[in-house]
Amino acid sequence: MTTLSAASVLEKLQTQGFRLTTARRGLVEILFADDSLRTVAELMTLLKKKRIAADKTTVYREIGFLMERGIVRDVEFGDGQKRYERADDHHHHVVCAKCDLVEDIPADAELERLEKRVSERTGFTILKHSFEFFGLCRKCS
Amino acid sequence: MTTLSAASVLEKLQTQGFRLTTARRGLVEILFADDSLRTVAELMTLLKKKRIAADKTTVYREIGFLMERGIVRDVEFGDGQKRYERADDHHHHVVCAKCDLVEDIPADAELERLEKRVSERTGFTILKHSFEFFGLCRKCS
DNA sequence: ATCTTTGCAAAAGTTTTGCATATCC
DNA sequence: GGATATGCAAAACTTTTGCAAAGAT
Task: Report the 10 Å Cβ neighbour count for B5.
Answer: 13
- Best interface-test mutation with A: which of B83, B124, B127 has the largest number of A CBs within 10 A? B124
Instruction: Report the nearest residue to nucleotide D7, CA vs C1'.
Output: A55
Contact B125 A141 (CB under 8 A): yes
- How confident is the model at residue A100, as a pLDDT? 81
- In degrees and rounded to multiples of 5, residue B135 shows phi and psi of -175, -145
Residue B45 belongs to what H/E stretch?
helix B40-49
> Which positions on strand D lie below 7 Å from a protein C-beta?
3-10, 13-18, 23-25
- CA torsion sign for B24, B26, B27, B30 is positive
Question: For B81-121, what is each residue's pLDDT tens digit?
Answer: 899 999 987 788 898 888 888 888 877 777 778 888 899 99
Note the helical H segments in A34-89.
40-49, 56-68
- How confident is the model at residue B1, as a pLDDT? 56
pLDDT higher than 80, residue A96: yes
- How confident is the model at residue B44, as a pLDDT? 96
Residue A128 to residue A115: CA distance in whole angstroms: 8
pLDDT higher than 70, residue A2: no
Tell me the nearest-neighbour CA distance from A60 into chain B, angstroms.
14
Residue B83 to residue B43: CA distance in whole angstroms: 10
- How confident is the model at residue A11, as a pLDDT? 94
Q: Which of A100, A106, A139 is nearest to B114 (CA)?
A: A106
Please report which confidence band the pLDDT of residue A1 belongs to, taking 50, 70 and 90 as the band edges: low
- What are the residues facing A136 on neighbouring strands? B125
Residue B80 to residue A62: CA distance in whole angstroms: 18
Residue B84 to residue A116: CA distance in whole angstroms: 27
- A92-96 vs B102-105, strand pairing mode: unpaired
Helices B22-33 and B6-15, axial angle in degrees (round to 10): 140
Q: Which of A138, A76, A64, A130 is nearest to A103 (CA)?
A: A138
Residue B96 to residue B140: CA distance in whole angstroms: 8
pLDDT per residue rounded down to tens, chain B (141 residues): 568 899 999 999 999 999 999 999 999 999 999 988 999 999 999 999 999 999 999 999 999 999 999 999 998 887 888 999 999 877 888 988 888 888 888 777 777 788 888 999 999 998 888 888 888 999 887
